[in-house]
Structure 1
Amino acid sequence: MKTKASNAGYAQEAEDLLRRYEAFSFEEVHEPVLHLLPEKPSRVLELGAGTGRDAAAFARLGHKVTAVEPTAELRMPSMSLHPDPAIEWIGDSLPSLATLKHRSAVYDLIMLTAVWMHLDEAERKEGMGVLARLAAPGAKIIFLLRHGPVPDGRRMFNVSGEETAALAEPYGLNTIFSTRHGALSEANQKAGVTWTRLVIAKPELTPPGK
């Protein structure tokens, strides 16, 4: 039997998702970690950028954003919805990020909002190595992990913050923040969906002589 792609179901629901995702602001969705976001202009990589809501918010804050979205049915209208020159849109996907891996760029912040739990165990192991290579010294990687019933047509796994943190440790990535909270949307609240917010960090380079 053919295995579902990690972004299964998103193309079919693209029009509805554009409406639902844009109903909540960047600040509402990411309130628990706003204090950990870079204050100075930085290089931001958003994996699974969806409608571009968050990419646009980062661009307004003065950051240079690479927005990766594998689903063309989301990516194309999102480019029109948020036409900011500070955002570069790329059609690519975890775990390999085949397009990005040929670049030399690294990033100060990597965002994975409701993305990581779409990868199976082997893909998560591969993907963590890719994230570690893309993270600049001192970078933060922010995960938002969904827990609860799997929507029809989707591919989703039960992924904990503890497992994700353990995968990061061999790459020298340290957990600096973790919390679990309820859902914002009424539909997800009724379904019993909860979320884990996990932030891992790559150490700064040690200056010579230190």
Structure 2
Amino acid sequence: MSELMSNAGYGETATERVAQYEAVTFEQVHREVLHLFPEQPADILDVGAGTGRDAAALAARGHRLVAAEPTAELRLAGERLHAGRGIRWVDDALPGLAGLGTAGERFDLILLSAVWMHLTADERPSAMDALARLLAPGGRVVLSLRYGPVPPGRRMFTVPADETVGQAHERGLRLLVRTPRADLHDRPGVSWTILAFESSPR
């Protein structure tokens, strides 16, 4: 399935994805790492923002949000569902996130919920380079790794947590959290690992 694009299958099933994403809350999804999120207003990048559930919750807490979502159907749904929240939506994606950071923009938190497993082994080092480039000094990255059956028509890979931790460490990112978690949608055979990293305050 490696010939598929990383967001393959999402546009065609956008209606189903919207219902799925909005069925769980920001607090449920990120309960293991909520203590790591900024308390004071901060610049936050939500990569693979989907319908904007997380971006909207963070914007409601006073943060400045950029939501990067390459699937037009999901991006438009998010703009509609969470209009008026002050979220800046952009059509951008890993591994390069080429449209971001060109003017020296940096983020205090980068969130990647159910994103990393879509990247090939060749793409993941470049993707980690992009995250390190966009992270502000002392900033944090929170991401999830998915394990289990791959739905038909989708591109997903089993990513060893040790690989991700090692790639982050090579780019000066310190591991803060590594914890398993069950699937919130109770899908058979699906489980997750939650990882959080922090850059040097320099």
Question: Per-residue displacement from partner, 1:135-186 (whole Å, max 9, x unpaired)?
Answer: 0001000011110010111000111221101011111111111101111113
Q: Which residue type is aligned with residue 193 of structure 2? A: T
Query: Any residues of structure 2 matched to 1:112-123 within 5 Å, and which?
Result: 112-123=112-123
| Alignment of 1:197 onto 2:199 | no
Deviations 1:107-129 (A, max 9, x none): 00000000011000111010101
Once residues 84 and 41 of structure 1 are traced to their aligned partners in structure 2, the CA distance between those partners, rounded to angstroms, is 18
> Does residue 81 of the first structure (1) align with residue 78 of the second (2)?
no
TM-score, with normalisation over the residues of structure 2? 0.97
Judge conservation of contact 1:59–1:84 (CA < 8 Å) in 2: no
Extract unaligned runs of 5+ from structure 2.
Answer: none
Q: Deviations over 1:6-64 (max 9, x none)?
A: 00000011001101110101001111111111100000000000010000000000000
Shift, 1:95, TM fit: 0.5
Deviations 1:76-101 (A, max 9, x none): 11101001342100001100112114
Equivalent position of 2:23 in the other structure: 23
SS in 1 for 2:67: strand
Distance in structure 2 (CA, Å) of the matches to 1:99 and 1:69: 12
The structure-2 alpha-carbon separation of the partners of 1:31 and 1:2, relative to structure 1 and needing over 3 Å to count, comes to: closer
For residues 1-210 of structure 1, the aligned pairs below 5 Å read 3-186=3-186, 188=187, 191-205=188-202
Report the residue type matching 1:62 in the other structure: G
Q: Secondary structure at the match of 2:29?
A: helix
Identity %: 48
Task: Tell me if structure 2 keeps the 8 A contact 1:177–1:200.
Answer: yes
CA distance in 2, matches of 1:2, 1:201: 31
Q: Which amino acid aligns with 1:129?
A: D
The residue that corresponds to 1:208 in the other structure is none
In the TM superposition, residue 102 of structure 1 has moved relative to its aligned partner by 2.1
Mapped to 2, the partners of 1:25 and 1:63 lie a distance apart of 18
Runs of 5+ in structure 1 lacking a partner?
Answer: 206-210
Number of residue pairs the alignment of both structures matches: 202
State the shift of 1:2 in Å: 8.1
* Distance of 2:2 and 2:49 partners within structure 1: 26
Give the secondary structure class of the aligned counterpart of 2:122.
helix
Q: For residues 41 and 56 of structure 1, what CA distance do their matches in structure 2 show?
A: 14
RMSD over aligned CA atoms reads 1.2
